[in-house]
Every structure is written in C-alpha cells, then in structure tokens.
Amino acid sequence: MSNFRLRTWLVVLILMAVLPSLVVVLINHQSNQAVSLERATTQMEAVARLAAATHEQSVEGVRQILGTISSGPSVRRYDLEQLCIEFIDNVAKASPSYSIIGVLTLEGKARCMKDEQLKAIDFSDRQYFKDAIEGRQFTVGEYVFGRASGKKALTYSVPVYDYQDQLKGVAFAGLDLEKVDQRLKGLHLDPDTQIFLVSSSGLLLASTHKTLDDIGSLHDDPGLKELLSAQAKPQDRSGPIQVGESLYVIAPVDHAGMSRTFFVTRANQQAILGRGLSQLRSQLLVLMASAVLSVLLAWVIATRKISVPIQRLVQRMNLAGKGGYGSIPQTEEVVLTSLEFNLLNHHLSDMLRQLQLHQAAVASSSDGIVICDALQADMPMVYVNPAFERMTGYAASEVLGKSCRFLQSEDRDQPAVAQIRQAVAANKEVAVTLRNYRHDGSLFWNSLRIAPVRDARGLVTHYVGIQTDVTGRIQNEEELARRASHDWLTGLPNRTLLEDRISLAIERAKRENAAFTIAFIDLDNFKVFNDSIGHAAGDTLLVEVGRRLTQSVRAQDTVSRLGGDEIVVVFEGLGEPSLLREALIRLQNRLEEPVHLHGKDYVVAASIGIANFPKDGDSAQSLLQHADIAMYKAKADGRGVVRAYDPALDARSNEKLELSNALRKGLANREFELHYQPKVESGTGLLSGFEALVRWHHPVHGLIPPLQFIAHSQSRPA
C-alpha cells in the first residue's frame, strides 16, 4: 500500500512539475518569437550598414579621384590638351572600378578623352552634368546606361574651374554597377536573406539575387516602395517594416549629407519564425515524452523515486558542456533546471549562429578589420582579420594586445594621426588616409575609417577600424602631378613650372630689391643634326644637354625645357654683369664638350639670349619673350654667341612679324604675280629666253620691291 501511495505521489509530483512547465513553454513561445525577430532584424541592420559603409568608402574614393582630376593643371588649362588626354587616360587605367572617367566642357562636350566616339556625344542632357553646373560641388548623379561604353553605371561629378576661378566644365566618373553587383553576389549570406542596392527612385542598381539584366529597372517590390516613401518624409522614417511575409531593413548611403542610394536587406519572416516553431515542437515532444516516461518509471521503479529523470537531465547537461549536478532532492528543482537549460541552450544556439555569420563576413572581407578594446589602457587590439595580416605582413599572434600605433613606426607627425586622436577623444567616427609600415618596413598608404562601438548604456567599449591599402592610387596621383609639371623626356621643369618659378623669383627680387637673369638657349643646327642621325639620337642629345646644364648651375637656379631644343635657365639673384658673364661662359664651355653618340663625337653649340629683371620685364611672360628676341638676335649675328635684350630689337621684330603675316596673306590672296622680261643676244639680236621677275602688289603699300621681302622669306633661323 505504501508503495502504491508512493507511486501515486510520484505521479502527482511529476504531473505537477510537467504541467506548469508546459504552460511556461507555451507562454514563452510568443516572447521567444519576438526575440528571434528582433535578433534577425539586428543582423539585417548590421549587414545593410556594413554594405552602406563599404559603399561610402567607394564614394569617398571617387570624390578624391575627381578632386585630383579637377585640380590638375592640364584639366584647368585648355592649352595642354595632349597632357590632359594622357592625364585622364592614366587615371582611368589606375581606376578599374569605373566604366568611364572624363571631363566635359560647359556645352556638355567631351574633352581630354582618347575615344573619338565620345567627342560626338552631347552629355548636356545628363543629370549629373546639370547638378555639377548648378550645385558647384561634388554631386551624385543618376543611374545611366553608357552610350559609348554600353555599361550600366552610377555617376558622380564635380565642377572644374580654371586658374581664374571661372567655371570651365565638369569632371565625371561612372561606377561600374556590374562590379558592385558581383561583390554583393560574393557575400556569404543566409539563403533566406537578400540584399540589394537601389536609387531613391526605386531603380535596382545591384543585388545578391537578381540578374545583370535587371540592373537599371524599377524594383516592383511593395515593401521597397514603402521604405523609399518613408525616406522621402523625415517625419515618417522608422526602423524595419513588415510587408506580407517579408521583413525589410534600409540603410542610406550618405553622400555629403544627402542620400540618393540605399542598401535594403529582405528576409522571409516565416523562415525566421519557422525555426522557433520547430524548436517549440521539439520542446513539447521532449517534455511530453519525459512526462510519460517519468510516469511509467514512477510506477515501475518507485524505490528509485526520481533518480532516473535526474540522471537523464545530467546526461543532457553533460552533452552541452555543463557537467553533472548530482542528485536533486526535490522534483521542483529538476523541472526548473530543465527549463533553464532549454532556454540557455536556445539563446546560446542563436548567439552562436549570429557569431558565425558575423565572423564569416568579417573574415571574408578584402579590407583589413581591427577591433580595439576602448576600456583598457592604450586601447590594445583584440581582433584582426586575415586581410589585415595580408596587408601588414604581421600575424595576429604578433599584434594582439598591442596598440595600433606601431604601424606608424617613427612617422607619427602626420595630420591624420592628430585627427584620429581628436575623434577618439570625442568618441566620434573618423575617416583619414595616413602612412603605415609593413612588417618588412615598407611603406603603404592606408585609407582608414574608425567607428566607436557602444554598449546598451551608450558607453564606448570598443573601436572598429576598416583599412584599405590605397598605395597604388596615391603613387599614381603623385606621378600624374609630377608629369603635369615636368618634361616627359628630360625630367626638367616644363613651361608651367618655369613660369611659377619665375613669378616666385620676381616676388623675392621685389622684396629684397635684387635682380636676376633669364637665359634663353636654342641649340644651333639641331634640326640638321636630328634629320641626319635620327630622332632617337636627338632625344639622347637633349637629355645630355639638360644634364650638363643642370650640373653647371647653382642649386637655387632653374633649368627648364620649353620644347624642341629650347631651354631656359633662371639665374636667381644673379644680376651683376661679371658674375653673369662667368656663369654663361661656364654654360657654353660645358655645352661645347663633345657628345659621344653611335661611336662618334659631336660638338654642340648654342645661341643664347638673356633678359634681366627688372630692367627687361616685370613678368614671366615679358622676360621670356624678351630673352627669346635676344636669342634670335644671337642667331642672326652668327650663332654660338650671347646677346642681351635691347628694346630696339622689338621694333625690328615687330616689322619682321608684320612682314611675315603680310607674306602669308599675300600668298593666300594671290597678290604676287610674275613678269617676264625677254633676253636678246647682243650679237645677233635674236631672242634667247625670258627672265621671270616676281612682283608684290600690296593692297595698302602698293608695289613692294623684291629686295624687301625676298631675303626675309628665305631667312629661317634653326
């Protein structure tokens, strides 16, 4: 009887323990579903924001590229078209992510672009062109389908000004959307989660699930339309929304305070909640099975009381890594421990899946990612991804626990470093470009974006840094800048840099009440030399002449090649005649040393014209013009000599110039005619021939004698 009562009591206790647990499971199911939706929404927001942050870095990159283009001397000046073409071509080669990069005039016509087909296209109807002209700032344009490239692109543009700050055109670039689409499809996302990039008008720009043919078409998703409508009305903006069976999250891509593109993540709500329903069924089955089994065991092994359920619970907890609790004297303790275990297992499983998703996304990123602990002294690194190891050459084991400052080596006096300190002190985001050094000591340029991570109380606990190696882009920009100011053959300063140097010399001379001299050098008979032994040898000769002249002057002097065989030397602070004479003799002696080419020695001679500041001019243009006139005087006086500028030379130069222009017009207007004079033999009186005599009937000066124009038409200094 006592055994029956014991069994009955055990059954009652088991039922009392199971039934409340069943009620608790059912009640908590709704709460768990809400938690699952919130967790899924958080993951979707993280993915969308990470994609938006990455795209914002791309926008920053194109803004820097267009800034480099719009500030380039060959783009701002219209007399350097070939340099401008080379400049744009080099930028395009260094920027493979863009389908087109170019410059437009105020009329919307292409310039500085190799493709002749582009020059026939009128770009003035493009919205990005109109926005740049009207807004006078960096502008995000609309989606376009390239009329010449045949590619789908998202356009960006900036206005171009000349050196007088006059608007002269627009520089633009088209981000290749096919490559953006490929990067999205390369993400490893949950099969139930989709992400796509759309414009504010609803055009699909890239996605993880659509085909390339869908790019540029209006997205017909009703949830997307509702999201974009909310973005257009600030008072209606909210977090995630649910439309039908889908859950949506949007992350705007910030462009200088405005958003024209958005990343949207979409997930199937039933798929998210389905996991909770499956888990509920599993819990109910386990709970009911445990109840039935416990009842049977209570009747069969009453002496054991409730030891078997305790052992089963211990086994389950051991499998979960929790270890055994031993025997528990009260059944209520068993039930509560099982419920706690199930809830803990549920949360741990969800956290593990979320952690695995985040870890896979961070590990597969091509950008280096660093996480620093903001609560420890010196903010040591606590995580680096594989891309960081590849980029810096440091293994994770070498850097974890250290401050990021070691990447700067001794090069810490950088403006970007000060910006980072200020942002960290203010707990704000910051984006900079700075010099870092790899494990082997080699330098690389790092485009770094740092953002604080806050806990539930708003306290900054960590900082996340995303770094991109932009060394190639920086080197290309520096090389393009050097080519814009130096001669491609000799490496000497070109006319643009020469005029800047002369202008600076004029300012210094005015401050110090000093003088300086410009020497205009033209190699004698260079055309004959070039035609005789070839242009390659002529180029070698010019390089050698530039090297000799550079070695023959002082460090503060400038040697510049204007083009062809014309070279200019600026003697700073050298106005005293005796010192100038010594410097010029030194130049001539160095030039006249034989040059060995193709097994032979060649002697180089030059005609030199000089002009002095302030006596012969007060601007770079006037000094160069007067030195040039003096050089032509040196050629006229027999070549290989030095002549100083004389104002009297201007009158003769103007007369020759007017006569040259009149000769060209006279030939075009047929003002010349031939007169034939018979020749008669004196002995026989017979006609032996004719003598042809040219006559010029000038419309203003009348008949001009041949002696005044024949000699001029035949004189061309070389």
* Catalytically active residues, by annotation: 565
Residues 6+ apart with CB under 8 A from 43: 193, 354, 357
CA angle 124, 62, 148 (to 5 degrees): 40
8-state DSSP, 219: P
Euclidean distance between the first and the last CA atom of the chain, given in angstroms as a whole number: 134
DSSP H stretches of helix in 248-330: 269-300, 307-319
Beta carbons of 371 and 359 less than 8 angstroms apart = no
Whether the link from the prior residue into 705 is cis, omega within 30° of 0, is no
Nearest to 482 by CA among 88, 72, 69, 64: 72
Three-state SS annotation for 116-163: HHHHCCECCCCHHHHHHHHHCCCEEEEEEECCCCCCEEEEEEEEEECC
Beta carbons of 447 and 433 less than 8 angstroms apart = yes
Phi, psi dihedral angles at 272 (to 5 degrees): -70, -45
Q: How many CA atoms lie within 13 A of 438 on its CB side?
A: 13
Tokens of 449: 């974006």
Nearest to 568 by CA among 652, 625, 649: 625
Q: What is the dihedral of CA 312, 313, 314, 316, to 10 degrees?
A: 90
Beta carbons of 704 and 696 less than 8 angstroms apart = yes
CA dist., res. 356 & res. 339, Å (int): 26
CA dist., res. 297 & res. 334, Å (int): 16
Q: At what angle do helices 471-485 and 2-71 cross, to 10 degrees?
A: 10
> One-letter amino acid identity for 568?
V
- What SS3 state is found at 6? helix
8-state DSSP, 427: T
Nearest to 193 by CA among 357, 68, 345: 357
Nearest to 189 by CA among 107, 267, 294, 260: 267
